[in-house]
A = this chain, B = another copy of it.
Amino acid sequence: MTQLPDSSLSRLFDPQGIAIVGASATPGKIGAMPVTLLRQHGYAGRIVPVNPRADAIQGLPAVSGLDALDADIDLAILAVPAAHAAQALERARPGQIGAAVVFTSGFSETGASGAAQQERLCAAARERGIRLLGPNCLGFMNVRRKVYATFSPAPANGIVPPGGIGMVSQSGAFGAYAYSMARERGLGLSHWISTGNEADIDVADCIEWLANDADTRVIMAYMEGCRNGPKLRRALAAARAADKPVVVTKIGRTQAGAQAAASHTAALAGDDAVYDALFRQYGALRARTIEEFFNLGYALDTWKRLPGGRRLGIFTISGGVGALMADEAHDAALALPEPSAAAQARLLERVPFASGRNPVDVTGQAVSEPGLLLATADDILADGRYDALAVFLAAAGSSEALWPTFEAFAREMQARHPGVPLAISALFPPARRRELERQGCLVFPDPSAAIRTIGAVASLADHAGVDADAGMPEAVPAAGAPLLEAYNEVQAMELLRQAGLPATPCTLATDEDAAVRAAAALGGAVAMKVVSPDIVHKSDVGGVKLNIAGEDALRAAYAGIMDSVRRHRPEARIDGVLVAPMAPKGVECIAGVHCDPVFGPVVMFGLGGVFVEVLKDVSFRLAPFGRAVALEMIREIKGHALLQGARGAPPCDIVALADALAALSRFAHARRADFSSVEINPLLALAEGQGALALDAVVLRANAAA
Contacts and interface: CB of A to CB of B under 8 A. Distances in A.
A403 interface: no
A466 interface: no
B257 A153 contact: no
Contact of A394 (B173, B257, B321, B641): B173
A369 to B, nearest CB: 15
Given A290-B447, A330-B255, A448-B289, A320 B170 contact: yes
B265 A174 contact: no
Interface string A167-184: 000111110110111001
A49 interface: no
Interface string A230-263: 0000000000000000000101111111111101
Interface in A341-363: 352-353, 355, 357, 359, 361
A409 B546 CA distance: 71
Interface stretch (A374-382, A607-615, A670-678): A607-615
A647 interface: yes
Given A181-B427, A321-B171, A448 B395 contact: no
A451 B152 CA distance: 27
A204 to B, nearest CB: 17
A404 to B, nearest CB: 16
Interface residues of A, number: 84
A263 B357 contact: yes
A157 B638 CA distance: 47
Contact of A263 (B254, B318, B319, B394): B319
Interface string A203-237: 00000000000000000001010000000000000
A249 B254 CA distance: 28
Contact of A254 (B259, B314, B331): B331
Nearest to A114: B353
B324 A289 contact: yes
Contact of A327 (B109, B153, B288, B615): B288
Interface in A481-507: none
A424 to B, nearest CB: 13
Given A260-B359, A318-B173, A321-B171, A157 B326 contact: no
A398 interface: yes
Interface in A25-74: none
Contacts of A257: 323-324, 326-328, 330
B320 A261 contact: yes
| Residue with the highest number of chain B CB atoms closer than 10 Å, among A154, A177, A330, A361 | A177
A639 interface: yes
A575 interface: no
Contacts of A316: 173
B353 A110 contact: yes
Contacts of A352: 110
6 contacts: A173-B316, A180-B398, A251-B320, A257-B324, A259-B357, A288-B448
